Amino acid sequence: MAAAIVFDHVLKEYPDGTVAVDDLSFEVREHELLALVGPSGCGKSTTLRMANRLVELTSGRILINGEDITQVDTVALRRRIGYVIQHVGLFPHRTVTQNVATVPQLLGWDRARTRARVGELLELVGLDPDHYGRRYPHELSGGERQRVGVARALAVDPPVLLMDEPFGAVDPVGRRRLQAEFRRIHRELGTTVVLVTHDVDEAVRLADRVAVLSRGGRLEQLAPPVSVLSAPASPAVADLVGSGAAVRLLSLGRLERADLAADAGTADLAIGPHLELGAALDDVFAAIAQAPDGRVPVREGGAVVGVADADTVVTALHRVTAAAS
């Protein structure tokens, strides 16, 4: 189950006169993971929080599956929308199991169904229910707490999941791992996800499409990650993706046969490190940087099909960016 979300000429003016979001219109497609990125104060959190009515919009409309959210009871609305924030807000005096069971219990699920669901969710986020279920939040690492937060938000299989800097408090290594796992979970469940982050790397790694906002909640660009990196629609987007854009593109592109050097040369193809067709371009880059002669054999299904060198990476980058523009 998933839902599309439509922001239709949405405006938010806070009581002090701050216009956080001005005339914002865009659609989050069913099943997609859309990242909202932009500089601090540009209105990302406000936009997200309007979708579950933690912030009430001033004018315009937000539709979830065609239904105007102002016409839905807020309690019922929030039960259908998972919400994960940076400091995850677990109940400190409730165990992991009890935290994850919060909404099922509110909905009156029986014990057996709740227990089964909690076990399934903890497995999904990579926590062994027998090991972690009876622990309290203070007995967990930051990354484990975030996992519990994700499990809790997914408890009743909400059609929409809103995430505000969900991995922000986790150290860089743990963060990478959580991102990768969350990507897998998203593929598995197909929930519509809106993710707020100020981290462009996180956005391009996780999102199907990236929405770049500038101050006042203005939409600068809404496009797949490769397009945002290789063809920024405005100076504000170029500024945000910055000089690291090419490096970020490397993590998105994959090695294809057409990228390989035409002449396999005299490299000893049988031994030593090699790459597979389809490898991520940043892995290709790392491999050729480490090879003494800057050339690495590439295999497909066990057979060597060519050699990757520095030109390979440049060719591949051009191909990836050309395809996106």
Ligand X SMILES: Nc1ncnc2c1ncn2[C@@H]1O[C@H](COP(=O)(O)OP(=O)(O)OP(=O)(O)O)[C@@H](O)[C@H]1O
Contacts with ligand X by CB under 6 A lie at 14, 16, 18, 20, 38, 40-46, 198
Q: Residue 132: what residue type?
A: Y
Name the minimum Å distance from CB 206 to ligand X.
17
Nearer Cβ to ligand X (15/66): 15
Decide: 33 and 193 in contact? Cβ < 8 Å: yes
Nearer Cβ to ligand X (38/104): 38
Of the candidates 320, 234, 321, the one whose C-alpha atom is nearest the C-alpha of residue 38 is 234
The contacts found for 235-242 with CB under 8 angstroms, 24 or more apart, are 236/212, 237/212, 240/37, 240/38, 240/39, 240/200, 240/212, 241/200, 242/200
Nearer Cβ to ligand X (199/276): 199
Nearer Cβ to ligand X (44/145): 44
Nearer Cβ to ligand X (95/197): 197
Name the minimum Å distance from CB 49 to ligand X.
8
Six token digits for residue 117: 């669901």
**Which residues have C-beta within 8 Å of that of residue 38, sequence separation ≥ 6?**
44, 198, 212, 213, 214, 220, 240
Using CA atoms, how far residue 268 sits from 125, 163, 273, 290, 292, in Å, is 43, 49, 10, 16, 12
Question: Residue 302: helix, strand or coil by DSSP?
Answer: coil
Six token digits for residue 76: 């019922």
User: What DSSP assignment string belongs to 251-283?
Assistant: HH-B--GGGSBS--TT---SSS--EETT-BHHH
Name the minimum Å distance from CB 214 to ligand X.
10
Name the minimum Å distance from CB 48 to ligand X.
8
Give the single-character DSSP code of 320: H
Name the minimum Å distance from CB 12 to ligand X.
8
Name the minimum Å distance from CB 295 to ligand X.
44
Nearer Cβ to ligand X (12/117): 12
